[in-house]
Chain A
Amino acid sequence: MTLTVGLLSFAHPHVHGYAAALADQGVRVIGTDTGVPDPGTIRGADLAAQLGITYAEDVASLLAEAPDAVVICSENSRHRELTEQALAAGSHVLCEKPLATSDEDAAAMVAAAERAGRILMTAYPVRFAPAFADLVARCRAGQLGQILAVVGTNNGKMPRPGERSWFTDPARSGGGALMDHVVHVADLLDELLGEPAENVHAVTNQILHAGIGVETGGVVSVRYPSGVIGQIDCSWSVPDSAPTWGGLTLEVHGTRGSMRIDPFAEHVAGYDAEGAVWQPYGPDLDARMIATFLDAVRTGTRPQPDGGVGARTLAIVTAAQRSVASGRPEPTHLH
C-alpha cells in the first residue's frame, strides 16, 4: 500500500531534503504552504511544482485527504497548532525541530499524540549519523568508562534574513541561535546520557550580524544529575564566505576513554573559480530519518527521537533563555 504523506508548510528550508527523501521512499506526497513568505522567494504552489509534489490549497484540504502521516516544516511557533490538527485528522507526525517554542506547547503536543495514539517524532537527523551510533555503542559497552564531560558545537551560517526572515523574528522562531542550534546537541546528549538535564547556564550576544534583533552567539553550560558537565556552542558563527553551511561536533571524555565525532566532516575539498569547495559525501541523514519515520508508520512501532525527547531538549533551551534573562544558572522545568 502506498503511503500518503503531507508536507505541512514550506517555511523551513529542510522541506527540500524531506520532499526528496519522501519521493525516494516511494510515498505519495502532498504539500501545502503556510505563513507569509519573504518577497522574491519561491514558495507555495510554485515550490511544490519545483519539488515535484502535489499542492493542496490549505491545511484543511490537505488533511481532508486523510494522509497517513505529515511532516511539519512551519515556523517554530506554529508547530503545536499544525501537530494538533494533523493528529485530529488521524495522521502520524514528524515535526521539524525545535518541537515547539514553549515547554507548555511541547507538553501539549506530546499529550495530544498519546491521546490520539499516533506517532510524534522530532526531526533530529544527526541521531542517525553512523559516527553517533558508534559513540553510543562504545559508551554503552563501557569503553569510555564513566563519562565526565561533553563538549558539543553546532555552528552554522545565519539563516538569510531576506529569504527566511522568520528565523530571526522571535514571535515566529521563539529566539535566535539558542533556539535554532542547542537542541541538536541536546538530543545527542539525551540519548547518550539517558538522563534529563538538571541545570543550565547560558550567555549570548549579538556581535555577529549585529542589529538582527536576536542572539547570534551563545554558549550553554549544562549539568546532568549524574554529575556530567556539558558545554554547547550554538552560535551562528560560520561566516557567509565559508564553503559549507556549518557543522556539528561532539567530544566525550570518560575515565577510560575519549571520543570525538564530527558527522559532517566527510567531504571532498578543493577550489573552484569562486574559492574553496566543500563537497559532502557522508550518508544522507535526512533520508535515514525519513525512512525510520515511514517504517514506524507502516509497522506501528514507536520511533526515536520522539516527542518526549523533543520536549526534554526544548527544556534546555527554555532554561537557557531564563538564564540569559536572569544572569544566573537556572534549573530546567524537568527538575
Chain B
Amino acid sequence: MNHPDPLRVGLIGAGGIAGVHAPAWRSLGADLVVHSLHGADDLAQRHGASTADSLDDLLARVDVVGILTPTATHAEIALAAIAAGKHVVCEKPLARTADQAQQIVDAAERADVRLFPAHVVRYFPAYAAAHASVTAGRIGQVAVSRFRRASAAPASPWFFDEAVSGGIVMDQMIHDLDQALWLAGAVTHVFARSVTRTDDGVRTASATVTLTHGSGAISHVHGVWGHAHLPFSSSFEIAGSEGLLRHDSAREDAVRLHLPPAPGGGYLPEVDVMDSPYTAEIVDFAAALREGREATVTGLDGVHAVRLAEAANESIRTGAVVEIETQEALR
C-alpha cells in the first residue's frame, strides 16, 4: 500500500520484536528510522531504514514512534515521545506498572496524540475469529475460559528480572490476560501462583492465574517459559451457555512437511509479510491514525491488562486473592 505522504516512523529498540514491526511498517511504505543501544545498524540495513544516534534525534525526524524496548523503559520513552507530539505504538506491556500505563494514557489524551499498545494476539486470526463468534452470541454467555501459552524461556536475561520485565505474568501471560478481558469483560478477583526452577544453569518458570469476571464468568490463564526444546504453542477453550470454542496452535494441520535435515541452511520459503498478525496490527494502527477511529486495542486496554498482571503478581507475592475495584476495572 502506498500512502501519498509516507508515514515517518521511528523504532526504538532493535531486539527480536523489532524484526517483525519493521517489515510491517515497510509494507505500508513508511520511512523508518531506528534508534537502539544495540543492533540499530543491522536492523536498518535489513529493512531499508536509517538510524538515529539519540532519542531526541529520532523524535525530530518522525511522526509515529514504535517503542520496542525492555518493559521498564516504556513509560519514560513514551512520555518523551508524547511530549514531543508523536503518536505512539508501544509493545506490550504498555508499562511496567499500571500507574505508569495510566500516566501514558493521560499524557496522550492531553497532548492529543494517539496511543496503541501492541496486544498482537487480538490480531491472530484464530483469536480474532473466536472473539467475533463470542460477540455474535454463537456460544451464548461466556462461562469458563482457559488460555494457555508455552515456549522455551526467553534468552535475554532481562525477561527474568522481575523489576525490569514483571516476570512471566507481565511479559508473556499479559497476552492472555488481555484475551480474557476482551472475551469476558472486566475482572473483579485475581488469584495466581508461580514457580521458577533452575536446572543445570537453565532457568524455567510457570504461572497460573485464575480470574473472576464481573459477569460471573471465570477464566484461567497458564503460562510456561520452559526448557530449550519446548516449541511455542498457544491454545484456548471458551465454554458458553450455548456452546464451546477451542483452538490449539500445536494442532494446526494445514501443512505437513517431512524433510531430511539440511546442513548449512537450504531453501527457506518466503513468509508473506501481509499474512503476519504483526502486520495486521500495524495496518490497523495506521488506519486508525489516518481515519481518526479507534483501533482494535486502545490505550485503556493496555492499562487494564497491566493492572491485571500487577494484581496477579501481587497475589503471587501475598498468596491471597486480590480484589480489583470495579470502578477501576471498568474505567
Contact = CB atoms under 8 A, between A and B. Distances in A.
Nearest to B221: A231
Interface in B126-146: 141-144, 146
Contact of A149 (B224, B241, B242): B224
Interface in A252-266: 253-258
Nearest to A238: B244
Contact of A217 (B195, B227, B239, B320): B239
Given A149-B206, A257-B229, A203 B199 contact: no
Contacts of A218: 144, 218
A131 interface: no
Nearest to A207: B143
B220 interface: yes
B206 A203 contact: no
- Residue of A210, A228, A253, A256 ringed by the most chain B CB atoms within 10 A: A253
A219 interface: yes
B193 interface: yes
B222 A231 contact: yes
Contact of A210 (B195, B237, B239, B241): B241
Contacts of A208: 143-144, 239-241
A226 B103 CA distance: 41
Contact of A256 (B144, B199, B208, B244): B199
Given A228-B195, A229-B193, A229-B194, A253 B218 contact: no
A122 interface: no
Interface string A223-242: 10001111101010111011
Given A207-B217, A221-B191, A148 B206 contact: yes
A251 B141 CA distance: 28
Contacts of A256: 199, 227
A201 interface: yes
Contacts of A205: 143-144, 216-218
Given A229-B207, A253-B206, A149 B144 contact: no
Contacts of B220: 219, 221, 231, 233
Nearest to B248: A260
A238 B243 CA distance: 8
A238 B220 CA distance: 17
B144 A217 contact: yes
Contacts of A203: 189, 191, 210, 212, 218
Given A217-B143, A229-B195, A239 B218 contact: no
A151 interface: yes
Nearest to B204: A255
A329 interface: yes
B226 interface: yes
Contacts of A209: 241
Given A219-B210, A229-B208, A239-B243, A207 B150 contact: no
B199 A146 contact: yes
B125 interface: no
Contact of B195 (A149, A216, A251): A149
Contacts of A145: 199, 227
Interface in B185-199: 189, 191, 193-199
Contacts of A231: 208, 210, 220, 222
B189 A327 contact: yes
A149 B220 CA distance: 14
Contacts of B207: 149, 229
A149 B195 CA distance: 8
Interface string A130-169: 0000000000000001101101010100000000000000
B202 A255 contact: yes
B312 to A, nearest CB: 12
Contacts of B199: 145-146, 255-256
- Residue of B191, B196, B237 ringed by the most chain A CB atoms within 10 A: B191
B321 interface: yes
Contacts of A223: 193
B230 interface: yes
Given A146-B197, A201-B191, A329 B319 contact: yes
Contact of A257 (B144, B219, B227): B227
B143 A229 contact: no
Nearest to A256: B227
A318 interface: no
B218 A217 contact: yes
B239 A235 contact: yes
A197 B113 CA distance: 52
A328 B191 CA distance: 9
A148 B195 contact: yes
B321 A148 contact: no
Contacts of B244: 237-239, 242
A220 to B, nearest CB: 9
Contacts of A257: 227, 229
Nearest to A199: B319
Given A221-B191, A254-B227, A257-B229, A239 B242 contact: yes
Closest 9 CB pairs of A and B: A237-B239, A255-B199, A207-B143, A149-B206, A217-B144, A231-B208, A229-B193, A148-B206, A235-B144
Interface of B: 141-144, 146, 148, 150, 189, 191, 193-200, 202, 204-208, 210, 212, 216-220, 222, 224, 226-227, 229-230, 237, 239-244, 319-321
Given A205-B218, A327-B189, 18 more contacts: A148-B197, A203-B210, A203-B212, A208-B143, A217-B239, A221-B191, A227-B197, A229-B195, A229-B207, A235-B144, A253-B150, A253-B206, A255-B199, A257-B227, A258-B150, A258-B224, A328-B320, A329-B319
5 contacts: A145-B199, A149-B206, A229-B194, A253-B226, A256-B199
